[in-house]
Amino acid sequence: MLTRQDEVVRVGVCLVLVSAIVGLIVLLFSGNACAAEQATPRNATDVLMKQAPVSASEHLIEAEELLRVDRTERRNRLWMEVVEQGWRTASSMSPNRLYRGGRKVYKQIRNFRDRSGAEDRALELLEAEVFAGSEDPRLNQLYAELRLREEEAMIDRWFEDVTDAIANRDWNTARRRLDRIIELRPDSARAQSLVAELDSVRLTAESKPDTVPSVSLNVEPWEAALLSGLLLERNDWVIARAPTTSRGTLASAAAHCLAGAPRAALLNLDAVSENQDGSGEVARRLLEDPAINPRAALEREERKFKLRRSLGWVGGENLEQQGLKRSGRAYKVWQRSMQPLNLAMSMPARMIGGWTPDSTQLRDAATQYLEVFPDGARAEDARDYLAELPVIPERGWDDGFFVLPRAQVAYAPVAARPIWVSRAALEVALPHLAGTWAAEYDHIQAVLLDPTELGYGVELSAAESGELIFHLAQGLEDDRLRPHGDSANSAMEHLRTVYLAVLQGRPLRMRIEDDSPEIRAALAYTFATGEATDSRSFRMKRGKDDMNVAWSPGQGACPGESLCIDHQPGLSGSLYASINLSANLVVGARTEIGDARFGIQLGRNGPQASLTLPLASWLGIARWVPLEAHVDLGFDGVSIGPRFKAPKQPGLNPSLKPGF
Amino acid sequence: MLQLYLGMQPLHFKFLAATSLILLFSACATVRPGVGSPELVASESAPGLTEIVSELQLHLRDDTYRFDRAVGPEGRNIFSMALWRLERIEQHRGNLPATNISLVIEFARARALERSRRYSEAALVYGVVGNTGSVLAEAAAESRQVMLVFADHVGTEVVDQAGIDLEFIDRRIDAWLELAWTYRDSVYEPLAREESEVWEMLRVEHFARHAGAAGALESCHRLVQRHRHSKLYARHLIRLGDLYAQAAREEHLRGRTRVGTFNADQYEQWIDRAFASFELASEQRKPALRQEARIKIDALVAVHQGTLAHAH
């Protein structure tokens, strides 16, 4: 009888044998696979010799091809989902996963005929020909169909906007959208009913006597003298002589206000505001004015602040801003906020961390209150607010002078930016450098290539700069070098920009930097917001009910706006950990060799090992069947199966799902 | 028949019928009459002279340069509303003999005209009141003097667009600033500051028209610097952002048309400052301007993406 240990060893040996056989098969077919994935090369001479511009029929063919490819991709994706769902059903997976998979299939079927970016690109190609007066019936027909679909999608979106705008009492937006819909669809019954609804809702909301201003001609005998006194600011005189009618009390309130007696003014206004006449309406309006009634303004801002703070504790800034709206977006924000991990971890983190919304209006109300009622009943509260609530410093001013700060919005740079190159990368790109570093530069980790106008360092000649950039680009293309945090395309674009600057006469300066960039601390941010954090070597992501962390040693952080180039190690690896609401902690390590991934982890179920082989990619069939072979080994036994999709979370071990 | 049909006891049916009738009459009583016609209504439900003057008087001390306080329902200007109502009352009184009430109406009108920056009209109306023997005459005469000074600064001649050069604009700005200093700490200082601000804004447009966006940047910086406390501060920041964005676009076009070499550093510097200006505007208090600034940021990002495609 085999012991458990013997069984594990036997399985491990089988694993190695299987891998070897698979590797042999792949080696045999990999050449064909690579060839199969290459597009059919066109005759370069024919392409270069062709002088005529692209014709309408070529545009039509290109547009039809775009749509065909898009349809094919959608069909393939749907088929993959259906096959994977079949696999899940056959392998008796958990009902939860079956349900989620089924929902994905349903959504794909439901959205199958939705518009896509391919239709927009096809429209761009066809529109120019249609406007040029093309008489090709096929082209015109296709254009008309695509245009109709575009209009219908736009109108659907506008209908949603109208519904949201009416719910949020944004009459102008609702009216603008409806006018546009009716312009395109004059017979739309839904639009007509929404117009009627908008008019009705708006009339109900705005039917106040003052909507159409009117005046009363009724002038009392005492008004001439009293109003003269009010206009001349003889306030004591007005207060003494004002009758106790509604109008007289209002005049008295105004005089009290002007005389600096806000309490008396408020008492009078409170009394008049009960009346349903012109004086009552004015009094109610004046009571809304924070300068006249700072007490009510303070209470109002206090209520709003506390409500927004509560919403912010539950769902962060998103919920604070959207939580009270009646829209689809607000519903989604509420849905995300109700996730268990958010309620269990992020909400307490925000509460303990003292998260507060923008308190500017509450501070203003408190300041206004203290100006009018320095010794009022709420004066202490107002002072507490001013002392405790954070003051957002006003940006853009330095010692009384207006100075624009750097922009915070992220935008793609146009100008040449500095490039950090690690010593190892330099030696890979320029092998003749290896072993030639002088003794005093032995400790050097990286060099900085600075093409900026105010850069400093040793100036390289144009030829030297060009050669250096060329070798770095070559290293990136050959995969001997890798960019930190940027895609290969972005890195190449960055190099190209620097190269152009050099061609335009901007010198490239090199200087030696000892300090390595520091890793940005992001733990608290991810805890609080739930958003993924990526500091190049350290990644953290909060899922619906788990938290995942991965650390790839050897990858430093890259200073903002720079390109960082390092050598590509033959073997890359990372450590990871995951914890879910059941307090099931899993720690592990994984490594990648080419596209194959191997990992080991330790969790509640004991040690587990996993091997993932991207067979479809090696055999050149990934385009149709993105299949990976997936072998898991643990105390529970061995499982082998296909995985149909590439994992979505690079940096975390996809083949070892925590709790598996 | 109904009682039998419902199968109710007679007492219960009577109670239900009585309750229904009461509810029906109550509902009728609460049906709101239609929105008032634009005609004058002789009822207490509409604001009268006391209401108009009380509300107007409470806003006459507002610092209209720094705050937008004098705003009524649906965002209407209090002074314009008061002026319109007073003029309608006066119009209705028509040929009635002048009484103290007429003088009160005229004086209040003059105050509203003054706050609406219609200085010469305000001076005229103050003059009418000042020539009577009423208690308002002395105050009207004093205010008239101030309004004449303001009207004089505005000038009576119609200025030809071609006649507005930089020197003319700078003279106006200096004159209004001097007037603001003269009437400092009074209710007239905000008016003078608003006038100088408007001329400062025109100065920016003058540079933009004659020297292009890049040439107007310095004057816009000056506008922002000088009017930091204005209620239009966010508006000035948005204008500054627009100018920087325009300058960046012009730099890009210069490169594309090969009129000059595309200076990527300069372009990026302008784009960055445009974003920074809009960001500062989006941090101010007014919701409408904050939204406008955010929309401008999104729009500029999209424009910049288009520029990237043709940058090199």
CB within 8 Å: A212 and B48 = no
Q: Assign A255 a pLDDT band (cuts: 50, 70, 90).
A: very high
Does position A27 have pLDDT exceeding 70, yes or no?
no
Instruction: For residue A520, give every residue at least 6 positions away whose Cβ sits within 8 Å of its Cβ, in sequence order, or none.
Output: A535, A538, A557
Does position A269 have pLDDT exceeding 60, yes or no?
yes
Rg (CA), chain B: 29
Residues A339 and A363 both lie in one domain: yes
Q: Which of residues A591 and A296 earns the better pLDDT score?
A: A296
Stretch among A200-204, B105-109, B223-227 having the lowest mean pLDDT: A200-204
Mean pLDDT of chain A: 79
- Whether A282 and B58 have beta carbons less than 8 Å apart is answered as no
CB within 8 Å: A216 and B52 = no
**What percentage of chain B exceeds 90 in pLDDT?**
53
pLDDT tens digit string along B63-115? 999 988 777 766 778 898 899 888 888 877 765 556 788 899 999 999 999 99
Kindly provide the b/e burial profile for residues A331-350, where b requires at least 16 CB atoms within 10 angstroms of the residue's own CB: eebbeebebebbeebbbebb
Whether A141 is in a domain gets the answer yes
The mean per-residue pLDDT over the stretch B206-223 comes to 93
What integer pLDDT is reported at residue B218 of this predicted model?
A: 94
If you write DSSP's letter for every residue of A499-563 in order, what string do you get? HHHHHTTPPEEEEEE-PPPPPPP-HHHHHHH---EE-SSEEEEE-SSEEEEEE-TT-----TT-E
Q: What is residue B128's three-state secondary structure?
A: helix
Whether A562 is in a domain gets the answer no
Q: Which of residues B19 and A155 earns the better pLDDT score?
A: A155
Chain B hits for A233, CB-CB cut-off 8 Å, are 57
Does position A649 have pLDDT exceeding 50, yes or no?
no
Strand partners, A448: A420, A511
**Which residue among A333, A365, A388 closes a domain?**
A388
Residue A231: exposure state from Cβ atoms within 10 A (0-12, 13-18, ≥19)? buried
Does position B298 have pLDDT exceeding 60, yes or no?
yes
User: Residues 476..515 of A with a Cβ closer than 8 Å to B: which?
Assistant: 496-497, 500-501, 504
Whether A369 is in a domain gets the answer yes
The mean per-residue pLDDT over the stretch A432-448 comes to 67
**pTM (2 decimals)?**
0.75
- A/B interface, count of CB pairs below 8 Å: 203
Residues A326 and A280 both lie in one domain: no
Cα(A565)–Cα(B184) distance, integer angstroms:
62
Chain B hits for A124, CB-CB cut-off 8 Å, are none
Residues A303 and A367 both lie in one domain: yes
Cα(A241)–Cα(A223) distance, integer angstroms:
10
Residue B171: C-alpha distances to residues A138, B162, B165, B178 (Å): 67, 16, 10, 11
Residues A629 and A597 both lie in one domain: yes
Residues A300 and A347 both lie in one domain: yes
Q: Assign residue A272 a region: left if phi > 0, alpha if psi is -120 to 50, beta otherwise?
A: alpha
CB within 8 Å: A396 and B280 = yes
SS3 content of chain A, % helix, strand, coil (to 5): 55, 15, 30
The mean per-residue pLDDT over the stretch A288-300 comes to 88
Residue A410 tokens read as: 């992220």
CB within 8 Å: A230 and B53 = yes
Would you call A239 an interface residue with chain B, using a CB distance cutoff of 8 Å? Answer: no
- Whether A192 and A162 have beta carbons less than 8 Å apart is answered as no
Whether A72 is in a domain gets the answer no
Residue A120 tokens read as: 């927009």
User: Residues 154..193 of B with a Cβ closer than 8 Å to A: which?
Assistant: none
Whether A60 is in a domain gets the answer no
Q: Assign B42 a pLDDT band (cuts: 50, 70, 90).
A: very low
What integer pLDDT is reported at residue B39 of this predicted model?
A: 38
Residue A507 tokens read as: 């010198």
Cα(B303)–Cα(A412) distance, integer angstroms:
12
Cα(B150)–Cα(B195) distance, integer angstroms:
10
CB nearest A395 (choices: B48, B103, B283)? B283
Would you call A259 an interface residue with chain B, using a CB distance cutoff of 8 Å? Answer: no
CB nearest A412 (choices: B99, B225, B308)? B308
CB within 8 Å: B36 and A214 = yes
Does position A148 have pLDDT exceeding 60, yes or no?
yes
What A252-255 contacts at long range (C-beta under 8 Å, 24+ apart), as own/partner pairs, is: A253/A283, A253/A286, A253/B54, A254/A230, A254/B54, A254/B55, A254/B57, A254/B58, A255/A229, A255/A230
Would you call A212 an interface residue with chain B, using a CB distance cutoff of 8 Å? Answer: yes
What integer pLDDT is reported at residue B36 of this predicted model?
A: 40
Residues A647 and A574 both lie in one domain: yes
CB nearest A278 (choices: B51, B100, B277)? B51
CB within 8 Å: A215 and B46 = yes
Kindly provide the b/e burial profile for residues B120-148, where b requires at least 16 CB atoms within 10 angstroms of the residue's own CB: ebbbbbbbbbbeeebbbbebbeebbebbb
Interface test with A, best of B35, B50, B105, B290 (most A CBs within 10 A): B50
- For B303, the closest chain A residue by CA position comes to A411
Q: Residues A21, A24, A28, A34: is their CA dihedral positive or negative?
A: positive
CB within 8 Å: B50 and A404 = no
User: Residues 588..627 of A with a Cβ closer than 8 Å to B: which?
Assistant: none
Residues A281 and A301 both lie in one domain: no
The mean per-residue pLDDT over the stretch B29-44 comes to 40
pLDDT tens digit string along B172-182? 999 999 999 99
Q: Assign A493 a pLDDT band (cuts: 50, 70, 90).
A: confident
Chain B hits for A452, CB-CB cut-off 8 Å, are 265
CB nearest B36 (choices: A209, A254, A497)? A209
CA distance B126 to chain A (A): 13
Neighbours of B253 (CB within 10 A): 14
- Whether A253 and A268 have beta carbons less than 8 Å apart is answered as yes
pLDDT tens digit string along A274-287? 888 888 888 988 88
What integer pLDDT is reported at residue A43 of this predicted model?
A: 67
CB within 8 Å: B49 and A219 = yes
Whether A128 is in a domain gets the answer no
- Whether B81 and A213 have beta carbons less than 8 Å apart is answered as yes
Residue A560: C-alpha distances to residues A188, A420, A551, A564 (Å): 52, 11, 20, 10
Chain A hits for B134, CB-CB cut-off 8 Å, are 228
CB within 8 Å: A258 and B228 = no
Whether A542 is in a domain gets the answer no
User: Residues 132..151 of B with a Cβ closer than 8 Å to A: which?
Assistant: 134-136, 139
pLDDT tens digit string along A110-129? 888 888 899 999 999 999 89
CB within 8 Å: A231 and B111 = yes
User: Residues 341..360 of A with a Cβ closer than 8 Å to B: which?
Assistant: 360
The mean per-residue pLDDT over the stretch A252-257 comes to 93
Neighbours of A558 (CB within 10 A): 19
CB within 8 Å: A497 and B312 = yes
Tell me how many domains chain A contains: 5
pLDDT tens digit string along A590-630? 777 766 777 888 887 777 788 887 777 777 776 666 667 77
**Which residue among A202, A236, A258 closes a domain?**
A202
CB within 8 Å: B42 and A217 = yes
Q: Assign B171 a pLDDT band (cuts: 50, 70, 90).
A: very high
Residues A153 and A181 both lie in one domain: yes
Whether A44 is in a domain gets the answer no
Instruction: For residue A616, give every residue at least 6 positions away whose Cβ sits within 8 Å of its Cβ, in sequence order, or none.
Output: A622, A625, A626, A627, A628
Mean pLDDT of chain B: 84
User: Residues 200..229 of B with a Cβ closer than 8 Å to A: which?
Assistant: 221, 224-225, 228
Interface test with A, best of B51, B83, B301 (most A CBs within 10 A): B51
Q: Assign B35 a pLDDT band (cuts: 50, 70, 90).
A: very low
| CA angle at A60 for the pair A55 and A65, rounded to the nearest 5° | 125
Cα A226 from chain centre = 62
Interface test with B, best of A170, A200, A215 (most B CBs within 10 A): A215
Chain A hits for B279, CB-CB cut-off 8 Å, are 407-409
CB nearest A213 (choices: B81, B224, B225)? B81
Would you call A371 an interface residue with chain B, using a CB distance cutoff of 8 Å? Answer: no
Nearest partner of A346 among A327, A319, A324, judged by Cα = A319
Residues A607 and A654 both lie in one domain: yes
Residues A362 and A302 both lie in one domain: yes
- Whether B87 and B106 have beta carbons less than 8 Å apart is answered as no
Neighbours of A235 (CB within 10 A): 20
Would you call B281 an interface residue with chain A, using a CB distance cutoff of 8 Å? Answer: no
Q: Name the phi and psi angles at A442, rounded to 5.
A: -60, -35
Nearest partner of B104 among B47, B54, B161, B166, judged by Cα = B54
Q: Name the phi and psi angles at A404, rounded to 5.
A: -70, 130
Nearest partner of A90 among A642, A660, A568, judged by Cα = A642
Interface test with B, best of A212, A250, A404 (most B CBs within 10 A): A404
Instruction: Report the relative pairing of strands A546-551 and A563-567 from DSSP bridges.
Output: unpaired
* ipTM over the 0.85 cut-off: no
Chain A hits for B63, CB-CB cut-off 8 Å, are none
Look up the domain containing A469 and give its range.
419-513
**Which residue among A240, A265, A287 closes a domain?**
A287
Residue A446 tokens read as: 């990286």
Chain B hits for A245, CB-CB cut-off 8 Å, are none
Q: How many alpha carbons lie under 13 Å from residue A134 in its C-beta half-sphere? A: 22
- For A364, the closest chain B residue by CA position comes to B285
CB nearest B46 (choices: A209, A232, A415)? A209
**What percentage of chain A exceeds 70 in pLDDT?**
77
Residues A502 and A432 both lie in one domain: yes
